[in-house]
C-alpha cells in the first residue's frame, strides 16, 4: 500500500479528529486495536472497557460505511500483539504504508510510548496535536508563564473572552458577572426526584463486547450488568439533549447537592462521552448557551455548566501537561496511609462513603461533589497516600483518564501539589456533608458528635488533619479560620479529638497493594 496508516485510539472517536481530516479513502487505512495493555494498565471498571470497545467498534463501522478501509483488531484476535506499539508495527508490516499519522495521546504514559513508534515502525510517524480542546498546550503554557499562581477563574475569563461564550456585544460577561456560583449551593428538597438519564438498549455489537468484558475483565472492581451507555456519537448527542431538556435548568441550583439513592441528580453524566470523543465540547457549550438564550435554562445553570467544561476541564488538562511527569509523584502533605478496604467493598458504617462506593460500583459514576467532598475529603483528612488514591479514581470511573483524573485528585482533592491547582485544601468535617445531603440522616454515626463511639469520623479526622499539617498550612491566608479555632481549642479537647481519629484509623482494614 502506498498511502497513510492512520491510527485512532480508543478515546479519539471523533470524526473531525486531526489525523482523519486529510484522509484519502483511495489510499489510506485506519488502524484501531483493542489491546490488553490499554485495558489493564489499571484494572478499569468493566463498564468503562465496554464503553470504549463498543464505541470503537461502532466508530469503525461508521468509517467503513463511508468507504474508508479500517484494519480493526479485536481483543481476542489470535494475532493481537497485546499493545498499541505492537499493533502499529504489525499493521506497518502488513500494509507497508508510506507513513503513519496519529493524534498524540492525552495520557503522558501513552504519549511517551507513541514517540517510540518511529523506531518501532521504520516509516515516518507524524504525531499531531489534539484539536478537540478549546485551549492548545502551547497557549496554556504561555498563559501560565510568569504567573505566580494559576487560578481557574482567571483562565476561565480569558477563555470566555477568547470564545465569546456568554459574552455580550460590549465584551462584558452576560448578566454582568463572570460566575454565578453563589446561586449554586442549594440543598435538594426532600421531595425532589431526579429525572432519569437516557438509557440505551444493547445492540448486537454491544452484547458481544459485554460478554467479552465479562469473561476477560469481570474480576475488576465494578458491575458489567445493566450496561446501557451511549456507544455512538448520535446516541451521546441524544443523551446530552435529554440532559438539556430535563436537567440543565436545575443544574446550577443543585450542583453541590447529594441524596441517598440519587446518584446523578441534575448532573449531565457526559464526562465519559466527552473524554472518548463521542461528544464535542464546543458543541456542548454552544448548546448550553443556546438553552439560556432561548429562555429554557437560567443563567446560573448555563454559566455553571459552561464553566465546568470551558473552565475546569481545559484548566485541568493544561495543568497536567504543564506539570507532568513530576506531578504524578507529588505528595506535599507527606500522606502515607494505604487505602482502607471499604473504598473497594463499600463496607463501612459511614453512609456517605458506602453510598458513593456502591453507586460507583454499579454505575462507574459519581458526581463531582461526591468525588470531591465525600471520598476526596476522607482521603485528604485521613492522610491517604496520593498514589493509592489516584489509582482508585483512575480505576473506578468511566470518564477516568490520567490527564483529567490526576490533577483533580492530586491537586483539587488531596492538595498534594502544595497549591498549584487550588488555593487551599478542601478539608471539611461532617458538617459540610450534612448541609449538602441527606446522608447523615441515614447514617449510624451522629454528625453532631465529635468524640465517642457514635461520633461522625469526619469530625475528629478533620481536626487531626488541621493539627498535623499546621506547619504546612497555617501560613495560608485562606486557612485563617480553622487555625484561629484550633489555637483557641483547649489542649484536652484537641487531644481527645486526635486520639479519636487515631483509634478510628487503627480500627480500619487496609487493602494490600496490587490486591485490586
Ligand atoms: P457535570 O457535573 O454534568 O459537568 C459537565 C462536565 O464538565 C463534565 O462531564 C466534565 O467534562 C466537566 N467537568 C466538571 N468538573 C470538572 C473537573 N473538575 N475537571 C474536569 N472536567 C470537569 N472528570 C473526568 O472527566 N475524569 C476523571 O477521571 C475525573 N476525576 C475526578 C476526581 C476527583 C477527585 C474530582 C474531585 C473530580 C474528578 N473529575 C473527573 C471531575 C468531575 O467530577 C467529573 O468530570 C464529573 O463528575 C463528570 O460527571 P458529569 O458528566 O455528570 O459532570
Ligand atoms: C481506555 C482504553 C481501553 C480500555 N482500551 C483501549 C484499547 O484497547 N485500545 C485503544 O486504542 N485505546 C483504549 N483505551 C483508550 C486509551 O487508554 C487512551 O487512548 C489513553 O489512555 C490515552 O488517553
Ligand atoms: Fe458521613 Fe458522618 Fe454524615 Fe455519617 S454522619 S453520613 S459518616 S458525614
Whose alpha carbon is nearest atom 1 of ligand 3?
352
Same-domain check for residues 183 and 274: yes
Indicate the top mutation candidate among 165, 271, 276, 405 to test ligand 1's pocket, ranked by most ligand atoms within 8 A of CB. 271
* Structural domain boundaries enclosing 51: 4-128
pTM of the model: 0.97
Judged on CB neighbours under 10 Å (0-12, 13-18, 19+), 89 is: middle
Cα separation, 222 vs 231, whole angstroms: 19
Q: Domain holding 157: CATH number?
A: 1.25.40.80
CA of 506 to the centre of ligand 1 (A): 32
Judged on CB neighbours under 10 Å (0-12, 13-18, 19+), 346 is: middle
| CA dist list (Å): 329 to 41, 284, 332, 446 | 17, 34, 9, 37
Radius of gyration of the chain (CA): 24
Whose alpha carbon is nearest atom 7 of ligand 3?
350
CA of 408 to the centre of ligand 1 (A): 8
Omega of the bond prior to 339 within 30 degrees of 0, cis?
A: no
Whose alpha carbon is nearest atom 17 of ligand 2?
38
Cα separation, 149 vs 184, whole angstroms: 26
Determine how many CB atoms are found less than 10 A away from the CB of residue 247. 23
Q: Give the bridge partners for 108, in sequence order.
A: none
Q: Is 257 within a domain?
A: yes
Q: Is 124 within a domain?
A: yes
* pLDDT for position 193: 75
Q: Which atom from ligand 1 is nearest to the alpha carbon of 413? A: 34
CA of 440 to the centre of ligand 3 (A): 5
Same-domain check for residues 68 and 183: no
Please write the tens of the pLDDT for every residue from 418-427: 999 999 999 9
Same-domain check for residues 383 and 254: no
Same-domain check for residues 421 and 306: no
Q: Is 429 within a domain?
A: yes
- Name the pairing type of β-strands 69-73 and 29-33: parallel
Segments of the chain with pLDDT less than 50: none
Same-domain check for residues 351 and 385: yes
Cα separation, 275 vs 493, whole angstroms: 47
CA of 315 to the centre of ligand 3 (A): 32
Q: Of the ligands numbered here, which is closest to the C-alpha atom of 439?
A: 3
Among residues 299, 280, 283, 314, the alpha carbon closest in space to that of 156 is found at 314
* pLDDT for position 17: 98
Same-domain check for residues 155 and 280: yes
Same-domain check for residues 281 and 414: no
* pLDDT for position 299: 95
CA of 432 to the centre of ligand 3 (A): 10
**Grid cell in block for residue 229:** 451507555
Q: Is 65 within a domain?
A: yes
Ligand 1 binding pocket (C-beta < 6 A) is 267-271, 274-275, 308-309, 312-313, 316, 367-368, 371-372, 376, 393, 397, 399-400, 404-405, 408-409, 412-413
Compute CA 382 distance to the chain's CA centroid, rounded to the nearest angstrom: 22
Please write the tens of the pLDDT for every residue from 374-432: 999 999 999 999 999 999 999 999 999 999 999 999 999 999 999 999 999 999 999 99
* pLDDT for position 265: 86
Same-domain check for residues 351 and 397: yes
**What is the domain count for the chain?**
3
**Grid cell in block for residue 318:** 493544561
DSSP state of 263: S
* pLDDT for position 424: 94
| CA dist list (Å): 307 to 179, 284, 464 | 8, 12, 34
Q: Give the bridge partners for 384, in sequence order.
A: 337
The label of the residue with cell 495560608 reads 476
**Grid cell in block for residue 350:** 459511614
* pLDDT for position 163: 97
Amino acid at each position: 500500500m502506498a498511502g497513510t496508516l492512520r491510527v485512532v485510539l480508543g478515546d479519539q472517536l471523533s470524526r473531525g479528529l486531526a489525523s482523519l481530516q486529510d484522509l484519502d479513502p483511495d489510499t489510506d487505512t485506519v488502524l484501531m486495536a483493542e489491546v490488553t495493555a490499554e485495558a489493564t494498565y489499571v484494572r478499569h471498571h468493566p463498564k468503562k472497557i465496554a464503553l470504549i470497545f463498543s464505541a470503537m467498534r461502532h466508530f469503525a463501522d461508521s468509517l467503513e460505511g463511508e468507504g474508508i478501509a479500517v484494519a480493526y483488531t479485536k481483543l481476542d484476535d489470535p494475532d493481537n500483539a497485546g499493545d498499541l506499539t505492537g499493533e502499529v508495527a504489525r499493521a506497518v508490516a502488513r500494509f507497508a504504508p508510506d507513513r503513519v499519522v496519529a493524534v498524540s495521546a492525552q495520557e503522558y504514559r501513552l504519549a511517551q510510548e507513541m514517540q517510540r513508534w518511529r523506531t518501532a515502525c521504520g516509516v515516518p510517524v507524524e504525531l499531531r496535536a489534539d484539536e478537540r480542546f478549546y485551549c492548545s498546550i502551547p497557549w496554556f503554557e504561555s498563559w501560565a508563564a510568569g504567573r505566580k499562581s494559576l487560578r481557574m477563574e482567571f483562565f476561565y475569563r480569558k477563555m470566555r473572552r477568547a470564545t465569546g461564550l456568554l459574552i455580550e456585544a460590549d465584551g462584558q460577561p452576560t448578566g454582568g458577572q463572570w460566575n454565578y456560583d453563589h446561586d449554586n449551593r442549594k440543598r435538594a428538597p426532600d421531595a425532589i426526584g431526579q429525572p432519569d438519564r437516557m438509557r440505551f438498549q444493547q445492540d448486537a455489537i454491544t452484547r458481544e463486547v459485554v460478554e467479552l468484558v465479562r469473561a476477560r475483565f469481570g474480576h475488576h472492581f465494578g458491575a458489567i450488568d445493566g450496561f446501557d451507555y451511549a456507544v455512538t456519537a448520535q446516541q451521546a448527542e441524544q443523551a446530552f439533549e435529554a440532559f438539556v431538556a430535563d436537567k440543565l435548568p436545575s443544574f446550577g441550583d443543585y450542583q453541590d447537592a447529594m441524596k441517598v439513592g440519587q446518584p446523578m441528580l441534575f448532573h449531565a453524566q457526559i464526562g465519559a462521552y466527552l473524554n472518548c470523543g463521542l461528544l464535542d465540547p464546543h458543541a456542548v457549550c454552544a448548546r448550553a448557551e443556546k438553552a439560556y438564550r432561548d429562555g429554557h435554562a437560567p443563567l446560573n445553570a448555563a454559566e455553571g455548566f459552561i464553566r465546568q467544561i470551558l473552565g475546569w476541564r481545559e484548566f485541568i488538562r493544561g495543568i497536567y501537561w504543564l506539570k507532568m511527569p513530576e506531578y504524578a509523584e507529588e505528595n506535599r502533605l507527606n500522606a502515607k496511609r494505604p487505602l482502607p478496604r471499604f473504598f473497594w467493598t463499600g463496607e463501612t458504617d459511614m453512609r456517605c462513603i458506602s453510598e458513593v462506593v456502591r453507586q460507583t460500583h454499579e454505575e462507574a459514576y459519581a458526581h463531582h461533589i461526591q468525588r470531591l467532598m465525600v471520598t476526596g475529603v476522607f482521603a485528604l483528612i485521613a492522610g491517604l497516600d496520593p498514589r493509592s488514591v489516584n489509582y482508585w479514581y483512575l480505576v473506578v470511573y468511566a470518564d477516568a483518564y490520567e490527564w483529567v483524573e490526576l490533577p483533580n485528585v492530586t491537586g483539587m482533592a488531596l492538595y498534594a501539589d502544595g497549591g498549584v491547582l487550588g488555593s487551599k485544601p478542601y478539608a471539611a468535617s461532617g458538617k459540610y456533608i450534612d448541609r449538602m445531603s441527606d446522608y447523615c440522616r441515614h447514617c449510624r454515626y451522629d454528625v453532631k458528635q465529635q468524640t465517642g463511639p457514635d461520633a461522625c469520623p469526619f469530625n475528629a479526622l478533620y481536626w487531626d488533619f488541621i493539627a498535623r499539617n499546621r506547619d504546612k498550612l497555617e501560613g495560608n491566608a485562606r486557612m485563617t479560620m480553622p487555625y484561629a479555632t484550633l489555637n483557641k481549642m483547649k489542649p484536652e479537647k484537641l487531644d481527645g479529638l486526635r486520639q479519636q481519629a487515631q483509634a478510628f484509623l487503627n480500627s480500619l482494614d487496609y487493602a494490600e497493594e496490587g490486591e485490586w
